[in-house]
């Protein structure tokens, strides 16, 4: 079965400490008015936020878990985004361009104040989840800060954020912080077995390595043919520095058939470089990684990684020719660019 959306996902593994912290606060009745849930992309931040919200909205003792059964009416209403005491704020579609907005707009954040000031419809809590809080515009962030400075009673704000450094320091200082870390291999394996039961053991192991503790990244890689692209990247790195320009164009043509091929390819190339350098510095590199790292100095690898990051960022931001960007990236790898 595919992984459900965070608001409809009953499964959370590998974050027992964070869940225990929330349970202790619920039991003690000393609930902070704002929580900042941070961690890498795809590790379960939003899943935990909705799990937290469902438990508060259900109005039941915390017991030993935040989990609610998917058959519970509160679970179903949160999953359907129809619970009267819950509001989600996130980036939305621009109706004119039919693309996702790059920021959370001021008018969306303004909804929070009115919502949180209302009496809970079901006599418990009012809960707001801001998913992707780092995407708030400056005006949105200032609007949120005003809410945090004068929080209404029986209302809780849950900020889900992969880049807390982009938030205003005054926002961070007014939140209780929960940091989620990448999952260990065992819970990653359990989740992938649940979500991808037909995936072979070898592919599952490779996916666990590529995903670096992020179930969300693992699912994205599967959807974007990440395993096939990973094999291509492995071969490319193994053949360095002898990569011809014609081969660069062949790879670019192959990846051009996929909508997300460019991003997945660039992500995996940079991840492969980073992993090889990291393991070499730690003295744990395998022979292929040692051979790759020996091609350049560590400073040169760092400059190359930054150059590839800039190339990917500018190509995606300005909608440049991805085929040419792939050829340019491979040229940088081989030392020709």
User: Where are the chain's structural domains?
Assistant: 6-179, 224-334
What local confidence, expressed as pLDDT, does residue 159 receive? 98
What local confidence, expressed as pLDDT, does residue 61 receive? 66
pLDDT tens across 112-158, in order? Answer: 999 998 999 987 899 999 999 999 999 999 999 999 999 899 999 99
Angle between helices 245-255 and 261-281 (to 10 degrees): 120
What local confidence, expressed as pLDDT, does residue 257 receive? 77
* Contact by Cβ (8 Å): 226, 264: yes
Q: How far is CA 51 from the centre of its chain?
A: 17
Query: Domain 6-179, what architecture?
Result: 3-Layer(aba) Sandwich (3.40)
Spatial distance between the Cα atoms of 66 and 23, rounded to a whole number of angstroms: 7
- Record the pTM: 0.88
CA atoms within 13 A of residue 94's CA, in its CB half-sphere: 10
Residue indicated by tokens 């992969």: 162
Spatial distance between the Cα atoms of 13 and 183, rounded to a whole number of angstroms: 8
Q: How deeply is 205 buried, as exposed, middle or buried, from its count of CB atoms within 10 A (0-12, 13-18, 19+)?
A: middle
Low-confidence ranges of the chain (pLDDT < 70): 1, 61-62, 336-337
* Contact by Cβ (8 Å): 41, 221: no
* Contact by Cβ (8 Å): 263, 319: no
Q: Which of 327, 325, 272 is nearest to 301 (CA)?
A: 272
What local confidence, expressed as pLDDT, does residue 337 receive? 43
Fold observed for domain 224-334: Zinc Finger, Delta Prime; domain 3 (1.20.272)
Q: Which of 311, 232, 310 is nearest to 268 (CA)?
A: 232
Token digits of residue 311? 């190339």
Q: Which of 290, 195, 226, 212 is nearest to 42 (CA)?
A: 212
**Is the C-alpha dihedral spanning 163, 167, 169, 175 positive or negative?**
negative
Residue indicated by tokens 């926002």: 171
pLDDT tens across 37-71, in order? Answer: 999 999 999 999 999 999 999 987 667 889 999 99
What local confidence, expressed as pLDDT, does residue 1 receive? 57
Spatial neighbors of 218 by CB under 8 A, at least 6 apart, are 42, 188, 191, 192, 207, 208, 210, 211
What local confidence, expressed as pLDDT, does residue 62 receive? 63
Render the burial of 40-56: b for 16+ CB within 10 Å, e for the rest: bebbbbbbbbbbbbbbb
């Amino acid at each position: 079965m595919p992984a459900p959306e965070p608001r409809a996902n009953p499964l959370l593994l590998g974050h027992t400490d964070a869940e225990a912290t929330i349970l202790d606060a619920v039991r003690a009745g000393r609930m902070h008015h704002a929580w900042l849930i941070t961690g890498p992309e795809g590790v379960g931040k939003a899943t935990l936020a909705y799990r937290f919200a469902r438990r508060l909205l259900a109005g039941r003792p915390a017991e030993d878990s935040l989990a609610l059964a998917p058959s519970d009416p509160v679970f179903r209403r949160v999953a359907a985004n129809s619970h009267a005491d819950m509001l989600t704020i996130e980036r939305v579609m621009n109706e004119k361009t039919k693309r996702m907005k790059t920021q959370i707009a001021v008018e969306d954040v303004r909804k929070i104040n009115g919502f949180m000031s209302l009496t809970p419809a079901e006599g418990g809590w009012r809960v707001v989840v801001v998913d992707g809080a780092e995407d708030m515009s400056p005006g949105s962030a200032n609007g949120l800060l005003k809410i945090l400075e004068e929080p209404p009673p029986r209302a809780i704000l849950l900020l889900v954020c992969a880049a807390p450094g982009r938030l205003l320091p005054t926002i961070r200082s007014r939140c209780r912080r929960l940091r989620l870390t990448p999952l260990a291999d065992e819970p990653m394996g359990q989740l992938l077995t649940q979500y991808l039961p037909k995936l072979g053991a070898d592919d599952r192991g490779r996916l666990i390595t590529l995903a670096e503790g992020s179930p969300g990244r693992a699912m994205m890689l599967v959807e974007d043919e990440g395993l096939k692209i990973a094999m291509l990247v492995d071969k490319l790195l193994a053949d360095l520095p002898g990569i011809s320009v014609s081969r660069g164009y062949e790879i670019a043509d192959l990846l051009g058939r996929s909508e997300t091929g460019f991003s997945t390819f660039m992500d995996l190339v940079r991840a492969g470089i980073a992993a090889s350098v990291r393991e070499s510095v730690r003295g744990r590199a395998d022979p292929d990684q040692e051979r790759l790292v020996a091609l350049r100095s560590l400073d040169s690898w760092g400059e190359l990684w930054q150059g590839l990051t800039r190339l990917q960022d500018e190509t995606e931001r300005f909608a440049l020719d991805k085929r040419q960007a792939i050829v340019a990236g491979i040229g940088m790898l081989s030392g020709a660019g």
